[in-house]
Structure 1
Amino acid sequence: MAPAGKGTVYVAAGYNLDWFTRSNIHFIDYTTDHYDFTLYKVKAEDRPGLENLLEQDITVPQYSFRLGYWLNNKADLAIEINYDHVKYVMIQDQVVHMTGYFRGVYYDQDTTLIEDFIRYEHTNGANYAMLNIVKRFNIWHAPNEQHWLSAVGKAGAGFVLPRTDSFIAGHRRNDTYHVAGYVAGVDVGIRYDFLRYFFLETSMKGCIANYADVLLYGDGKASQHWLSAEYIFTLGLQAPLKL
């Protein structure tokens, strides 16, 4: 007997750590400002915010949320809504190559990303919202069936919902959540079910995320894409829809 059967709903929440590949970022605005330039191979980092976890709102750190439904009695196939509050922070004072126009001047040179020129981060979330198919493989269970250990694989796609905090030469914007592109990824991990209704899950997730329409000050827009790796730890609760 599986730890949960068809018709069982589960919900889980936890936190994540993230790593990003370098990204080319294109910035453009011809109306409220005058620029059209690209920064190449920009480095960025996450901002987990876990150091003061018990002293702040639990949604301030990089959190993860899962809502799923088991599709069969073996409880080895599920559909899952998967949301990760991922934070992306461009590293200040790095040197990158810049090409394009900025306020009437053409640049094709290495440039230091000082704060007076540009700050760029998705710290209210780069935010991956995905719909996943989940497959579970039983590894071990106790004779009394109160403890189960399983391998879990997930694959899915969805949209990105960033709220971008940007500053470009005196102009800042940080106010709007916005569907800016798409994300797709796979997730592999270990799940431990215990006492029928509870479970722990830890996993690694790889994604490709494309931000084609990032909002900046005025009519400004940015676009970029990256690959990311994510470590996720969640605690969950599950129960059949009909007890």
Structure 2
Amino acid sequence: MYNLYSLRIKRPFVSTKHKFYVLIVCLLIGSSITADENVAPATIHDKKGNWNIQWGYNRDYYTQSDINFRGPGYNYSLKSVDARDKPESFKADVYLNPTKFEIPQYNLKFSYFFTDRFFLSFGEDHMKYVVTQGQPVKYSGYIDPGVIAKNQMALSTEAALFIYLFPNHVQEMAGYHGGDQTIALTPDILKYEHTDGLNYLFLDFGWITPLYTSSDGLSGLSLVSSIGGGPVVCRSDVRVLGKGQNNNFHLSGYGVSGYVATRYEFSRTYFLEFGGKGGYIDLTDVLTTGGSNRASQNFGFLELILSGGIAI
């Protein structure tokens, strides 16, 4: 026979034990919820472990440069040569067409934040460099008259027209020159462009300094700074004394630079950036007219860069 009394005694005990378990679970859930509420929401300053990817466009400015040309039968330098960039005029078919991204002067950069403030970045600045036609420059060195005669057997179209109109102009370059002579850089003397790319491939160390942050922490203004350097790959379109070619891409030298920009971040994901990069480029091995013919130069540069990006 069952003991009904003892069964009635046990039921309250079981009920109390269940209530105790429920209470413990509720406390654990409550503490978890409280802990989650105490965690500060992420802001634009929580960058550690994030990647930034950005794309933009640039305008470029260069200091004057001495350009040395050397090859069989000649070794001479043009002094204090002026050059400019060659921005693509705005066309929707170019700037909004992903298949033509390499035509404008563009900037591509990837950055990784190893702390909330410090980052490493790498990328490419696709600049363009064009020696200004018609400018008068001094020159020094030696050119064998036979080199001029040989080059005139393989003239470019623009050089051929100029030599036909002014046949004695290029002959002024023949022989030895001490640096006092001046000549105009017309097509029969020189065409010199890195227009398919003065491509600066850089690795930078950088840091970001907050200037202003919105009350919700999801937007703000910051100062971005970095320093670095890397190789420069050129594709040079060159005519020397009337002869030349559009060369292949070639590792031509190196550059070092510093960068400062103002960045506006919004939605904690997107940002716009406007800045300037200044530096020095040394091109020791520029391809010119084929074979062992080479040029070399060094110059300072300034880029003004407008870019946009995304944080992931």
Tell me the TM-score range normalised by the shorter chain.
Answer: over 0.9
Write the distance in 2 (CA, Å) between the matches of 1:102 and 1:133: 45
Shift of 1:2: 4.2
In the TM superposition, residue 175 of structure 1 has moved relative to its aligned partner by: 2.8
The answer to whether the aligner puts 1:52 opposite 2:74 as a matched pair is: no
Q: CA deviation at 1:59?
A: 2.1
What is the aligned partner in structure 1 of residue 39 from structure 2?
Answer: none
- The counterpart of 1:86, out of the listed 102, 114, 127, is 127
Amino acid at match of 1:19: Y
Alpha-carbon offset, residue 174 of structure 1: 1.2
Residue 58 of structure 1 deviates from its aligned partner by 2.9
Q: Does 1:28 align with 2:57?
A: no
CA distance in 2, matches of 1:167, 1:207: 27
Q: Using the TM superposition, name which of 210-219 and 171-180 deviates more.
A: 171-180
Residue in 2 that maps onto 1:194: 266
2:298 — aligned with what?
225
2:267, 2:305 → 1: CA distance?
A: 22
Q: 1:68-147 counterparts in 2 under 5 A? A: 68-72=111-115, 74=116, 76-104=117-145, 105-108=175-178, 109-147=181-219
**Normalised TM-score (structure 1):** 0.92
Alignment check: 8 A CA contact 1:53 1:61 kept: no
1:117–1:168 CA contact under 8 A, matched in 2: yes
- Asked if the contact 1:118/1:166 (under 8 Å) is kept, the reply is yes
Bigger helix share: 2
Amino acid at match of 2:101: I
Report which structure shows greater RCO (CA 8 Å, sep ≥6): 1
**Structure 1 Cα separation of the partners of residues 43 and 239 of structure 2:** 52
Task: Using the TM superposition, give the Cα deviation of residue 71 of structure 1 relative to its aligned residue in structure 2, in angstroms.
Answer: 0.7
C-alpha change, 1:148 and 1:129, in structure 2 (3 Å) is same
Q: What runs of 5+ residues in structure 1 fail to find an aligned partner?
A: none
How many angstroms apart in 2 are the aligned matches of 1:175 and 1:214?
9
Residue 19, structure 1, aligned to residue 61, structure 2: yes
Partner Cα distance (1:100, 1:171) in 2: 19
The alpha-carbon deviation at position 172 of structure 1 amounts to 1.7
Distance in structure 2 (CA, Å) of the matches to 1:147 and 1:120? 46
Q: Deviation digits for residues 94-128 of structure 1, max 9, x if unmatched?
A: 00001111224223411111112210010011111
User: In the TM superposition, what whole-angstrom CA distance separates every residue of 1:68-105 from its partner, at most 9, and x where no partner exists?
Assistant: 10111x2x110000310010000001000011112242
- Contact 2:187–2:242 (CA under 8 A) maintained in structure 1: no
SS in 1 for 2:92: helix
Q: Which amino acid aligns with 2:230?
A: G
Aligned residue number for residue 81 of structure 2: 42
Identity %: 32
Q: Which residue matches 2:106?
A: 63
Alpha-carbon contact 2:284-2:296 (below 8 Å) kept: yes
What is the CA–CA distance in structure 2 between the aligned matches of 1:170 and 1:85, rounded to whole Å? 27
TM-score by length of 2: 0.72
1:138-177 map, 5 Å: 138-177=210-249
Cα separation, 2, equivalents of 1:5 and 1:67 = 14
Distance 1:233 1:52 in 2: 15
User: Structure 1 counterpart of 2:84, which letter?
Assistant: E
Moved over 4 A (4+): none
